[in-house]
Structure 1
Amino acid sequence: MSIGQLAEQAGVSVKTVRFYSDRGLLPEATRSGGGHRRYGPDALDRLRLIRSLRALDLPVPDVRRVLDEEDELVDVVEGRLAEVGSQLTALRWREAALRLLADCTAHERAERLRLIGALSTPPGTDALARFWRYWLPARLPARVTNAVIDQAVPTPPADPTPEQVLAFARLQDFVTTPCFVFGPRAGTDYGRPEVHLPGKGYRPAVLYEALPEAYELASAELRAGRAPHHGEALDSFVAAHAASLNRRDTADFRRGLHRMLAAEPRIDLYWQLTAEVVSPPSGPPEPTPGAADNWLRAALAPLA
């Protein structure tokens, strides 16, 4: 077939056939005496396959991979699905951000624009992870630090509400304030819990390895709507602190622990905003480690 005949049968322009031929996707069988392209009997099916792949918005290099090796199709399609999913998530975040700006007063709009302008779409969590690396005690084992970060850093929802966009923007703004970015590693201990400070007798790695179990137990109590009380969750929480200090769990230890925790600085705003990010639009809030910690501290209070 000539290039014109192939283009006519495939329902495309001659320019399109030439484009694919020049990029090696559609090899010509031979050339006429005048130098015109000639295509063999398989060219029509190959051209239709190329059009189908391009209709899925696959780039030319990926089309070539599939043509060269059919087994590549699944990998190429999965990769493209991931890209499209990321693009859709970005669009949903932009839509929610626009709704957030549309449904507010002029005074609120200026502040929201500032917050939203600092977000990427979809947003990343690098700033939140960096905050926790600053906030946690120095020289924690990497596996412990990573486990805490995995639990403490919320995953941005793929289809957020305007309220979730605002909460995440405020959360990022909170963790990027100078006092958090520079304070804990700039020679000051202001605002840091006692367990983070050297010379206090704590073994932070022991504490942070044991706390997730206590938080999980307390989260179950929160989901059930139970008020703070003595029991397995509190025992696990106290045991974690006692082990980190090489102490026994006694009534005196619990009283001292309550006094110490009551006087510690808090980052409640972080956990409040995190709960707004991860909780469904309707229904009870999803327990965070911060909410679990508050429940456990309240359970200690009657012993003080």
Structure 2
Amino acid sequence: MDGTTRYSIGELSRRTGIPVRTIRFYSDEGLVPPADRTPAGHRRYAPAAPQRLELIRSLRELGIGLATIRRVLDHEVPMAQVARAQAEALDARIRALRLRRSVLHAAVARATGPEETTHMHRLTQLSGAERRRITDALLTAAFGVDADPAAAAMVRAALPDLPAEPTPEQVGAWTEIAALLTDPDFPARLERAAAHQASGAPLPFEALAGDAVTRDAHRSLAEARDADLDPRAPEAAALADALVRRFAEACGRAPDTEFRASLAQELTGAHDPLVERYWRLVWTVNGWTVLPQLVPVHSWFLRALGGARTAAQLNSNAASQPPAEGAPVA
């Protein structure tokens, strides 16, 4: 094909599959100017026109605007620079779409109403700096000038940080954390719990029992908790009973109801369910699997003690019942 070949607008349309009206629009915009016109005024296009149209179509499908395409075709800007900018814009849009999807999935999972869904969406739209201001406000409220620096450092090292592309679980957890931070009592509760954890001070019954017994008990409790053993399960009740006997022996006490009650009372004082919930939400938001040092084993032990007491009561009640009719008598 020589340089004198000319295409009509209809021929260009047939060769490229681009509608005539679109080619005419590109021509009017100066993107595919006609090489000349017939005596009747019909446009005629040069041999390079089909390739130029294909390029325009590809760039348009990649989302690049006509003004930028014109600069690329006129060699005013490198294609690589345009591609980089477009890729970055697409990356940002993809992140935004994934975030919206996570919010919607979280709304489904939590069965939220329109107001809570809107609130959840607004929270996820905050910038990293805005989210940091929220958590810094918590630190300011919880840890004043007289606060334990070790406790403040422990909390600061594990502040929630929502990722750029959070899962629905992370969106839900961040929303719940934001709600917790509006509780006026929560900063003080977090400070008390963190100070106790940072001090490493044992509970009174642990101090009386000694380091070796307490260390072994903590290891057994941590293993059970980290294995996701339900503290209400029979295995957990058996572990709680064994630990009660071990602590009672070390403390010079009998493993009776009174001793169990004293253990439960001390464990209750050391356990703040709201603070434990906060730490578990932080794990979820930050994508951490486990931070066992941030949630002591006391809460698991306390629940296991309750399960053990319930099991003992059920066994006691069953033993006190008369045998069913027809049942063998021992």
TM-score by length of 2: 0.46
Q: Which has the larger radius of gyration?
A: 2
